[in-house]
Structure 1
Amino acid sequence: MRILVCGAGGQVGREVIDRAAGFGLQALAMSHRELDISQPDAVLRTVEQLQPDLIINAAAFTHVDNAETHVEQAYAINRDGAGALGRVAERAGIPLFHLSTDYVFAGEAGHPYSESDQTGPTGVYGASKLAGEEQIQQACSRHLILRTSWVYGVYGHNFVKTMLRLGEQRSQLSVVADQIGCPTHAGVLADVMLELARRYADGRVLAWGLYHYCGQPPCSWFDFAVEIFRQARLIGLLPSAPEVLPISTEQFPTPARRPAWSVLDCSRFEAAFGLSPHDWKEDLSRVLKQLDALNERPLPSRQRSRA
């Protein structure tokens, strides 16, 4: 089966490309430079030319802070691009898998968010992604929307690689401790979507709709950073671990407001497909070992400075 992968240059998209053959699937990679999903004519032309059997959309405007000042661009990709893919997929008679985000919620709940909970994004990024979900739901009858959170991996820019870089440069770091979420390995997201694509290719019926899938258990950014440095130190990826100090969101202001609570309930997805969330600490170990094997060490300098 041929899968059109939009956003093939991103964290999840590159993992899909790397892993597709292992599932017996052919991935047709399209980076943003090769296919701008905000251009409906380009989307239609690409699908007509390549004739894929399924589309995986990992393309998005993901820079949360920049979205506040690049509103039009964020909506063009996250809302209009998603809608264009949904309409073209429906016209072609093929399914669409789409990645969304925990940022569609306000982050004020005291329980893990389920798919039926009230949304309430606090910034442009979350609002544009929610609008994209709605576009797909209206346009494409066979869609699978996966909301996830705190994505990290070997490719691209993410929290893990940022912490490794800063940990190499500094002896002390301050990290927000009052935002709670679920770190999720990009490779695991790729595996989940490819497994469901394989089931579809085998003729199995999928329960289409909106789902949550992310790593477990929940933690704070501070907890995440401490574990990154602990594991990196153990395998020699960092010569020593910096001291990590917990701070509040108010002490680290950003242009976009982040949800204080980004914990997603994945039970509906697990019940529908029999695929359980992964332990993010185990996945983190694999990512750090991959980075070590690739010699993606942060910086050669051992100079230390206080944050």
Structure 2
Amino acid sequence: MSATAVRRNEEPELRVVPARYVGRWVAAFLVVGILGMLVFSMFTNERFHWDVVGEFLFAPPVLSGLGKTLMLTAVSMVIGILLGIVVAVCRLSSNPILSTAAWGYSWFFRGTPLMVQLLFWFFLAALVPTIGLGVPFGPKLLEIDTNSVISPFTAALLGLSLNEGAYMGEIVRSGIRAISTGQTEAAKAIGMSRMQTMRRVVLPQAMRVIIPPTGNETIGMLKYTSLVIVIGYSELLTSVSIIYSRNFQTIPLLLVAAIWYLAVTALLSIGQYFVERHFERGFTPIKGKKPPKPGTSAPAGTVAASAAAQNIEPELEPIK
């Protein structure tokens, strides 16, 4: 018998056994079972009154409330994002007055409940009966009744947008601080001003950090609009509550509101996915795309790309 045969007889035969994830399968069966029971209960319990849900799902008052909810969400987010950019830039400013004022704004609006802010703006006339326009600490050129200016929509817009501006300020500030200082130093080296550096260098790169939480804030804003029911603005939940206060079909009408909230949230989530993928270009590899072969052009913005465009090889420092 040869030495090779003896060695083969002495070595134990190894058999590959696939891993058995018992815990995963048990958890999966539990989740599927609970989900199945919930679905079965929803479609067999007559108290859900799905016929009432179908009747009011596309009712004109519900669609009108949905439109006002979408408008309030969009306008509040636009104002909140603009305020957030201003607050973030002021927080990062070397001017102590600007940075302190921005910190105080963020501290106040993040520290008080949103419902309290909505009620405060709605009852502003009790504190300021008239709004005067004129010279500060001098004569007033124009006086306007506060009740004629602060409507339920105006109070809702002020409360939601100012509150959102405080949160967006922290989001934008974290995105700006995620960019290395070398970027701003390079921009200053080529003669860019502070505003040009922020607009052309820092913010475009910070977007990939800012976009995900901003998308979450937009979805949150869609649901925060339901709080304006306390000031009587007829958005989606208010419209639904008016209907079920008349026909006493509370659960079916709440299901109508939930269906519309879920539908709009799904659309916003899809939009957020594509926006995130757009701003991630150049930072993460694209699925299904192979890395460039040696000798081909490199991504724009790299040293290799600049050297390839000039048909020269990048200089490398000698190893010491």
TM-score (norm 1): 0.23
TM-score (norm 2): 0.22
- Higher-Rg structure is 2
